[in-house]
């Protein structure tokens, strides 16, 4: 059996944004139309007291259209010099379980996350978006700028970060407009994509002005529950994962909302919208809020496409 290892540099060289966008969007469609595509449980975390600086996580998925399945492994080590990450996607034949490739996802996962946010934005807002705010100036935000320009070509992209100087440096690198505060960056924006590591709320109900679309993608607690309360429409990409991760997961753990109440509040999942099962109908003043945490099938789809090339 031949098992191909595709390292990060080769994977990036093979990346095509249009193909990547289409396979990731299709992965959401398959999640909505082809039955369960995620492993049970969708993620497993492994950490031991004797190695407190190491955390490992595995996520499984399958894509019936491509007849591919696999597991993504993420390992993080908190070294003195900073966090060291390992990120690989195992690809197997869905019909025989035979593995055929391992794709390094260090860069691809960031690209996948950025594309996921733009897939959500297009699904909920449509192609017309003149002013878009990016909240956060990290590695994934750099991919978000690239994908936004490629797909939507907005008139203005804004950036705001926890430190104004960081936003200014980011803006200089990517030719976007820096803002010193979230209040100012959100004022007049058609949409916002928030991708931060904030573990305390930085977004509140007053940021959700009439007509805006907010895509919350942070992995911790970036949105206060008042954002949900102010929204006219609320969407997720996967309710199970959203209830344990990101802002919604934080609200559930803090007792601010129950899973049942959250699920009743959801207008639909991203795959249902992408598949045309649910139509997003909104007025010019409706405030739409979506929590998008990403699904393992999207990483699988991108890795499989890279391997096929």
Full DSSP string of 11-66: HHHH--HHHHHHHHHHHHHHHHHSS--EEEEEEEEE--TTSTTEEEEEEEEEETTT
Domain 1-309 has CATH 3.40.50.720: yes
CB 151 within 8 A of CB 118: yes
Buried b (16+ CB within 10 A) or exposed e, 131-150: bbbbbbbeebbbbbbebbee
Q: If residue 192 lies in a helix (H) or strand (E), which one and from where to where?
A: strand 191-194
pLDDT bracket for residue 258 (50, 70, 90):
very high
Residue 106 burial by Cβ neighbours in a 10 Å radius (0-12, 13-18, 19+): middle
pLDDT digits (tens, 9 = 90+) for 150-193: 999 999 999 999 999 999 999 999 999 999 999 999 999 999 99
The Cα angle at residue 136 between residues 134 and 138, in degrees rounded to 5: 120
Q: Alpha-carbon distance 233 to 235, whole Å?
A: 7
pTM, two decimal places: 0.94
Q: What is the mean pLDDT of the chain?
A: 96
pLDDT bracket for residue 215 (50, 70, 90):
very high
């Amino acid at each position: 059996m031949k098992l191909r290892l595709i390292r990060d540099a080769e994977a990036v060289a093979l990346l095509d944004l249009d193909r990547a966008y289409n396979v990731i969007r299709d992965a959401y469609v398959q999640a909505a139309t082809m039955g369960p595509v995620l492993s049970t449980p969708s993620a497993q975390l492994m950490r031991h007291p004797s190695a407190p600086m190491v955390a490992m996580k595995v996520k499984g998925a399958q894509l019936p259209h491509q007849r591919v399945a696999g597991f993504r492994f993420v390992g993080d080590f908190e070294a003195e010099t900073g966090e060291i990450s390992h990120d690989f996607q195992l690809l197997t034949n869905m019909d025989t379980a035979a593995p055929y490739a391992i794709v390094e996802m260090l860069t691809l996962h960031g690209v996948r996350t950025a594309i996921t946010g733009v897939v959500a934005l297009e699904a909920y807002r449509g192609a017309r978006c003149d002013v878009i705010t990016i909240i956060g100036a990290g590695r994934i935000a750099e991919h978000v700028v690239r994908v936004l320009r490629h797909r939507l070509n907005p008139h203005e992209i804004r950036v705001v970060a926890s430190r104004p100087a960081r936003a200014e440096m980011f803006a200089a690198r990517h030719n976007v407009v820096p803002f010193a505060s979230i209040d100012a960056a959100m004022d007049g924006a058609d949409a916002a994509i928030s991708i931060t590591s904030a573990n305390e709320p930085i977004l509140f109900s007053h940021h959700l002005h009439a007509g805006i679309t907010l895509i919350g993608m942070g992995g911790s607690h970036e949105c206060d529950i008042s954002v949900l309360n102010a929204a006219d429409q609320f969407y997720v990409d996967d309710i199970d994962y959203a209830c344990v991760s990101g802002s919604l997961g934080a609200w559930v753990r803090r007792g601010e909302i129950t899973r049942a109440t959250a699920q009743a509040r959801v207008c639909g999942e991203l795959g249902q919208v992408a598949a045309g099962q649910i139509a997003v109908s909104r007025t010019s003043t409706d405030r739409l809020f979506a929590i998008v945490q990403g699904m393992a099938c999207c990483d699988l789809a991108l890795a499989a496409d890279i391997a096929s090339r």
